[in-house]
Amino acid sequence: MTKQALGPAGRKASTGEQRYFRRGLGLKKEIQPVIDFEYGSALVALIRERDYELRIDRLQLRFARSSGFCYGVDRAVDYAYESRRKFPDRRIFLVGEIIHNPHVNGRLQEMEIEFLYPSEAGEFDFNGVTPDDVVIIPAFGVTLHDFEALRALDCVLVDTTCGSVLNVWKRVEGYARDGLTSVIHGKHWHEETRATSSQVLKYEGGKFLIVRDMAQAEEVCSYIRGEGERAAFMELFEPSMSEGFDPDRDLERIGVANQTTMLASESLDIAARLGVAIQDRWGPEKVPERFRSFDTICSATQKRQDAVKEMMQAPPDVMIVIGGYNSSNTNQLAHLCGLYTTTYHIEDAACIDTVRGRISHKKIGGDEILVEKAWLPPGDVAIGITAGASTPNSKIGEAVERIIRGAGYDPSDLLKS
């Protein structure tokens, strides 16, 4: 696709032009055939039609009943394609990555959508953006500061922020409005959590604290009970708290929220533990005024985790989890599967070497890439398959084809029958 590069001296936006798109650009029907072609898979569709299970002699493939692209990801990808269709001659920028899938992001780059990456401090530089340009906000959302900066530039904004993320934002805004500190279960460096925590700044005195896991949540519980040491607490949470955070003051009244892609059961357990700590410190009669918690678990995340748990009632011999290595929800699926059976988190089909019979995969709970020889057991074998919410069916299908070929069968025969 070719287009004119517009610089600071480019043409001015037309009078009355719509500058903010939140509900699509009206081109869904036009781009849908392209989306289906690029991200669909006849093999995946076939297996789902066969009640999510496929038998080929000794090989049994079992699909999780909920996996792959969720509604929010579908919507974000659609809007990116609609943007290029609607503005063929304009520069289009994307704040960060549209989703955490390298293939989808790579395809957008091929469409000449320019990615704006943050500095090590997580800050974006929008100096090169002009009113003529189009800027796409990813499914994770952007911080309040970045959103206001983009609006001030008067560029065309295409906002793909997921509705589930917006639901969490409403909760933390409510906490800040009512004088409660938001305690957020998430990764402080993740785009979504950065965006969520920034929402408390809409209110003067808004505060937040981000806890990575149950271990950090227990540290917060101890401090609430009066058992913690201030210096150690401040050092532990230094990168994960709002400016001027004072644990002696700001943990007296709290509201709990979460990054939507975290392990749902852990988020709920953390909320429960924090509620007990508040009760221990202030008494049960004070809990209603000092503690709030709402279920802000993303329904798509919940469904994919529930589908894995359903599979694990009769665990397969091997579990393959497909998705970007930097995808939080995919990593959570891999962690969950690993509690029950041998699990390999792969990024795509290229991780499966059908010639040497090897598989390269990301270590669960770490960043190391491991190589497993002779990973496919001999004899009858059941292989479970799931994928993160940012993994398209095309990539799931390619991985399944590699698995089938690695077992000595031709996947093309399935589509002929």
Residue 5 pLDDT > 70 = no
Q: Interior CA angle at 75 toward 99 and 192, to 5°?
A: 40
In order of their start, the domains of the chain are: 39-70+300-409 (3.40.1010.20), 71-161 (3.40.50.11270), 164-297 (3.40.1010.20)
The 10 Å Cβ neighbour count of residue 191 is: 23
Q: What is the pLDDT of residues 375-404, one digit of tens each?
A: 998 899 999 999 999 999 999 999 999 999
pLDDT band of 10, cuts 50, 70, 90: very low
Report H helices in 67-224.
Answer: 71-86, 102-110, 144-153, 163-177, 191-198, 214-224
Q: Which tokens in the block code for residue 46?
A: 């076939």
Summarize the confidence of residues 103-110 as an average pLDDT: 96
* Local structure of 104: helix, strand or coil: helix
The 8-class DSSP code of residue 242 comes to -
Distance from C-alpha of 396 to C-alpha of 373, rounded to nearest angstrom? 22
* Residue 198 pLDDT exceeds 60: yes
Cβ atoms < 10 Å from Cβ of 142: 24
Q: Specify whether the CB–CB gap between 56 and 97 falls below 8 A.
A: no
pLDDT number for residue 147: 97
> In whole angstroms, what is the distance from residue 80 CA to residue 73 CA?
11
- In which band, very low, low, confident or very high, does the pLDDT at 3 lie, cut at 50, 70 and 90? very low
Mean pLDDT for the stretch of residues 318-328: 96
Higher pLDDT, 179 or 354: 179
Q: Which residues pair with 104 in a beta bridge?
A: none
Q: What is the pLDDT of residue 17?
A: 85
Q: Are 261 and 328 in contact (CB under 8 A)?
A: yes
- Largest pairwise CA distance in the chain: 69
| Residue that wins the pLDDT comparison between 417 and 5 | 417
3 state DSSP class of 257: strand
Please state the three-class secondary structure of 267-326 as a single string: HHHHHHHHHHHHHHHHCHHHHHHHEEECCCCCHHHHHHHHHHHHHCCCCCCEEEEECCCC
Catalytic site includes residue 372: no
DSSP string, 167-208: HHHHHHHHHHHTTPEEEEES-TTSHHHHHHHHGGGGSTT--E
pLDDT confidence of residue 412: 82
| 28-39 vs 71-86: helix crossing angle, rounded to 10 | 120
Asked if residue 9 has pLDDT above 70, the reply is no
Question: Rounded mean pLDDT of 92-116?
Answer: 95
Over residues 325-336, mean pLDDT = 94
Cα–Cα distance, 237 to 17 (Å, whole number): 45
The string of pLDDT tens digits covering residues 39-55 is: 999 999 999 999 999 99
Q: Which residues pair with residue 116 across a beta bridge?
A: 95
Please tell me which residue, 411 or 3, carries the higher pLDDT value: 411
Whether 346 and 119 have beta carbons less than 8 Å apart is answered as no
- Arithmetic mean of pLDDT, 325-345: 96
Mean pLDDT across 202-211? 97
For the stretch 223-274, pLDDT in tens is: 999 998 999 999 999 999 999 999 999 999 999 999 998 988 999 999 999 9
Q: pLDDT digit string (tens) for 138-193?
A: 999 999 999 999 999 999 999 999 999 999 999 999 999 999 999 999 999 999 99
Q: What is the pLDDT of residues 108-138, one digit of tens each?
A: 999 999 999 998 888 899 999 999 999 999 9
- The DSSP call for residue 155 is -
CB of 318 within 8 A of CB of 341?
A: yes
Six token digits for residue 289: 């005024």
> Over 80: is that where the pLDDT of 12 sits?
no
Gyration radius of the chain's alpha carbons: 23
Report residue 15's pLDDT band, with 50, 70 and 90 as the boundaries. Answer: low
Q: Which of 192, 347, 398, 401 is catalytic?
A: 192
